């Protein structure tokens, strides 16, 4: 398993969410990240999900 980071920001730059989670690969991480965003009502906030190598998997501004 690999560790990914999901971060959500307010328009002021304040972090609303900064959590790590494990997934088997980048595709699974995208699904987990998107699901978490929807579950916590952050889908329309600025967010990013990055891989252990800092590859950007999800981004919304």
6-58, pLDDT tens digit by residue? 999 999 999 999 999 999 999 999 999 999 999 999 999 999 999 999 999 99
What domain count does the chain have?
1
Per the DSSP assignment, residues forming a β-bridge with 22 are 3
The DSSP code for 21 is E
Short-list 14, 58, 55, 53, CA closest to 37: 58
Confidence class for position 4, pLDDT limits 50, 70, 90? very high
pLDDT of amino acid 61: 93
Half-sphere CA count of 58, side-chain side, radius 13 A: 26
| Whole-Å CA distances, 52 to 1, 14, 20, 40 | 11, 23, 10, 23
Q: State which residues form the domain around 51.
A: 2-60
Q: Whole-model pTM?
A: 0.93
């Amino acid at each position: 398993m690999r560790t990914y980071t999901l971060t959500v920001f307010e328009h002021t730059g304040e972090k609303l969410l900064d959590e790590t989670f494990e997934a088997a690969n980048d595709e699974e991480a995208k699904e987990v990240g998107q699901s978490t965003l929807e579950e916590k009502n952050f889908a329309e906030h600025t967010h990013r999900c990055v891989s252990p190598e800092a590859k950007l998997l999800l981004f919304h501004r």
